[in-house]
Every structure is written in C-alpha cells, then in structure tokens.
Amino acid sequence: MGYEAALLTDEMRTRQAVIQLADGNMFAPLAPDPAHMSPEAIACGLANACRFGGQTRKYYSVAQHSVLVAALAPKRLDVQKYALLHDAEEAFGLPDLPTPMKPFFPQFVEAQGRIGEMVLEKYAVKATLKGLVKPYDTLALAIEKRDLKETSDGYLHDLPTPPEHIRIRPLTPRPAEQLFLAAMRTVFEKGLPIDRGWLCAHPGFEVWGRHA
C-alpha cells in the first residue's frame, strides 16, 4: 500500500470511529464535526465525567467544576465563557487523563485539543483567554481538594489557599447537567455574568456573602 493510500485509509478509519451522543447524533472524536457540539451535548458529557479520574468518594463532575471556575473568574462575559468551556473537549468520547499521564499519550492529548479548539471557535470564544482563566481553574482545584479529597497530604501541596466563602456540595450527573446548562444560558444567551448570588440560587455550592 502506497503512502497516499495509507493516509486515505487512516482518514477513513478516523471517520468510522464514532460514538453516539445522547441526542442521537453520531460523532467521530478523531474527525469532529462542530455541528454536533451543542450545549446539551457538552453538558451531558461533562456531567457524566468525574473529576480526579473518578477517585473521589462522592461523585463530582467536570460540569460542576466548570461552573465553579466560571464563578471564581472575573465578571467578564468573555472570561466566563472560556471558563465554562475550558474542559469541553472531555465531553466527546475522549475523557480527561490525569495530568501526570498526559506526556505518555501525546496523540490522545492532541486529539482532545482539536475538539477543544473547535468548541471555542463554534462559540466565538478566544483561546488566548486560557492564561487569564488558568489561575481560577487552579483555585477551583484547591477548593475541590479541600472539600472532596479525604486524604491529601503531600498531594497538590502547592495550591493557593481556598476561599472560605464557598463550599462544594457535589451533584449527581443529571442535576450537574442542568446546572451547567443554566450557566450557559445565563452567560451565553442572557449576557449576564455568574456571581455569588447566582450560585446561591442554584444547587451545588454553599456560599456566604451574596454580593462579593
């Protein structure tokens, strides 16, 4: 088989490697189609994805994590849009790898990255906002470590001090899915930022001080 024929065969195989989304659409993670990256598909996939590689006693989803990051971020719509979608690639058949494992699976990480880029492009979110959102992703991790990891001595010891005004109340997948969709509607459709008052009005977090 010649080189060009081999490439064609590989392309066909990537398009044939499909999963069925909850809405019934077929999706090829290695040849992604942005048309199928709906808010509902993202919310469902992230709500079914557990943080920490599933190693928590209480289920805690990437969907709820994404809402937390958005709520911690500045009250700028562009920043909160990025925060809500910063892990969206994990919704489409290529689940997240624990960070220490990622260097050993570069093709997997690259394929994830392509999906993430397409999601951001579809929703007109600038990829350059990653650096601005990253500190709030890390702050969310600090809160999650405190509230969800029972034994964590020596694990993620260089995190910032988590704020005392917010505590996580982990949601099961379907309530987490609805929480994520509510956040998407607020930020993307209504053009309103998520703040402490918004979190107080929705399940998933215990918050003190509505207006800070």
DSSP string, the chain: --HHHHHHHHHHHHHH--EE-TTS-EE-TTS--GGG--HHHHHHHHHTPBSGGG-SSS--BHHHHHHHHHHHS-S-HHHHHHHHHTTGGGGTT-PPPPGGGGGG-HHHHHHHHHHHHHHHHHTT--GGGHHHHHHHHHHHHHHHHHHH-S--TTSSTTPPPPPTTEEE----HHHHHHHHHHHHIIIIIS-----HHHHHTSTTEEES-TT-
Identify whether 41 is part of a domain.
Answer: yes
pLDDT at residue 11 greater than cutoff 80: no
Q: Which of 75-79, 116-120, 136-140, 208-212 has the lowest mean pLDDT?
A: 208-212
Percent of the chain with pLDDT strictly greater than 70: 92
Looking at residue 6, its pLDDT comes to 45
Identify whether 212 is part of a domain.
Answer: no
Dist. CA 41–CA 131, nearest whole Å:
26
**Is this model's pTM higher than 0.85 or not?**
yes
pLDDT at residue 79 greater than cutoff 50: yes
Looking at residue 13, its pLDDT comes to 76
Average pLDDT estimate for 104-124: 94
Dist. CA 198–CA 167, nearest whole Å:
14
Average pLDDT estimate for 69-96: 96
Residue 79 burial (CB count, 10 A): 21
Looking at residue 130, its pLDDT comes to 97
The string of pLDDT tens digits covering residues 122-175 is 999 999 999 999 999 999 999 999 999 876 666 777 899 999 999 999 999 999
**Sequence-distant contacts of 59-62: CB under 8 A, at least 24 apart:** 59/170, 59/172, 59/173, 60/144, 60/148, 60/168, 60/170, 60/171, 61/171, 61/173, 61/176, 62/87, 62/90, 62/91, 62/96
Tally of domains in the chain: 1
**Which domain, by its residues, includes 183?**
3-207
Could you tell me the pLDDT band of residue 1, with boundaries at 50, 70 and 90?
Answer: very low
Q: What are phi and psi of 25, to 5 degrees?
A: -70, 145
Could you tell me the pLDDT band of residue 21, with boundaries at 50, 70 and 90?
Answer: very high
Identify whether 171 is part of a domain.
Answer: yes
125: CATH? 1.10.3210.10
Average pLDDT estimate for 194-212: 86
Looking at residue 58, its pLDDT comes to 93
